[in-house]
Structure 1
Amino acid sequence: MKIFVFLLAWFMSVVAMSSFSTLMGHIFDSEFREEIILSKLISGNSFNQKDHSVYSILGWFIHFLVGGLFLYVYAIIWEWNLANLPLWETIVFGSVIGFLGIIGWSITFKIYHDPPKINFKGYYIQLFFAHIVFSLVAMIVFQWLR
């Protein structure tokens, strides 16, 4: 796999996922942006408090890092497949990483003594679909630039 294709898919997939989470947060009047929640966990600040830019950068960094790990696994699966990945497999992969994301966030929130006050049920539902968006965008970039 070409490094350029991987990097472009990585960037576009994480941005698409983050945009989806932002949109869902606005629709449901809740904070769903992963990078913001991460920055609040790191800083210990509430959503009413402004974070230092270092925490915001760390939130984005962690979000992109985890996205890159998921995408790396995805890229390996595609290399094994050696064919165009069908839409249904892309949605299945997005669903699997969506469930893994929910498990990861659940553990993260349990570890922190004072996690941010968010709509957890709504967050987990949108997180599941955000990972499908991530997967679909990755598939489009990989197949378009293959």
Structure 2
Amino acid sequence: MKAIEKIVIAGIVGTTFMTLYSYFKAKKENEEYVEPVMLNKLIDKSPNLPSARNEDSHPAGWGLHYGTGVVFVAAYWLFWKKVLLNPTPGRVLVTGIISGAAGILVWKLLFSQHSNPPHNDRKGYYRQLMYAHIIFSLFSLLTYKALSLKEETTAAVIQ
């Protein structure tokens, strides 16, 4: 399996678990914390973009969210391949915190630059984003490692 295939699969798996956590926190705290929904609200409220009328399921927000997850894993691959091949608990935590900080900065920028940003508890949102990115890192790194191990095992059996 090519590295790009492992990156895409790991990004999808990590993003899925991150999003499940965001749904859980949103429901528990009765706030809007689901990233694709927030993206769709930003798109819908932007005067320069076409409307995303169904904010919960419009593909634009979901595509941007999953695409970003793949980009995060690609960044791990470019800058810190060791974390993908040997995801220790410490590396998962550090990667999650770095990713969470980057995610929070991007969301702060999106909200501050938008003329009519959606409303939610920002402090709670940023806190859940940090945990969500740690979950993302855990599942994306473990998935990449599992795909790599499967590949190594298959190659060893063939030889």
Q: Which bracket does the TM-score occupy, shorter chain normalised?
A: 0.7 to 0.9
Query: Match for residue 132 of structure 2?
Result: 130
Q: Would you identify which runs of 4 or more consecutive aligned residues in structure 1 move more than 4 Å? A: 80-83
TM-fit CA distance, 1:138: 1.0
Residue pairs, 1:1-146, within 5 angstroms: 2-44=3-45, 51-52=53-54, 56-79=58-81, 83-146=85-148
Q: What is the root-mean-square deviation in Å for CA atoms of aligned residues?
A: 2.1
TM-fit CA distance, 1:81: 6.2
Which moves more between the two structures, 80-89 or 33-42?
80-89
TM-fit CA distance, 1:64: 1.4
Provide structure 1 residue ranges, at least 5 long, that are not aligned to the other structure.
none
Distance 1:81 1:68, change over 3 A: closer
Which moves more between the two structures, 33-42 or 79-88?
79-88
Calculate the TM-score normalised by the size of structure 2: 0.80
In the alignment of these two chains, the number of paired residues is 141
- Cα deviation 1:13-59 (Å, max 9, x = unaligned): 111111110000011110100000000110119xxxx8247x82110
Provide structure 2 residue ranges, at least 5 long, that are not aligned to the other structure.
47-51, 149-159
Which moves more between the two structures, 36-45 or 131-140?
36-45
Partner SS for 2:58: helix
Distance 1:82 1:69, change over 3 A: closer
Distance 1:66 1:81, change over 3 A: closer
Partner letter of residue 105 of structure 1?
Answer: W
Distance in 2 separating the partners of 1:36 and 1:80: 33
Distance in 2 separating the partners of 1:141 and 1:83: 10
Partner letter of residue 41 of structure 2?
Answer: K
Query: Match for residue 152 of structure 2?
Result: none
In terms of Rg, which structure is larger?
2
TM-fit CA distance, 1:75: 2.1
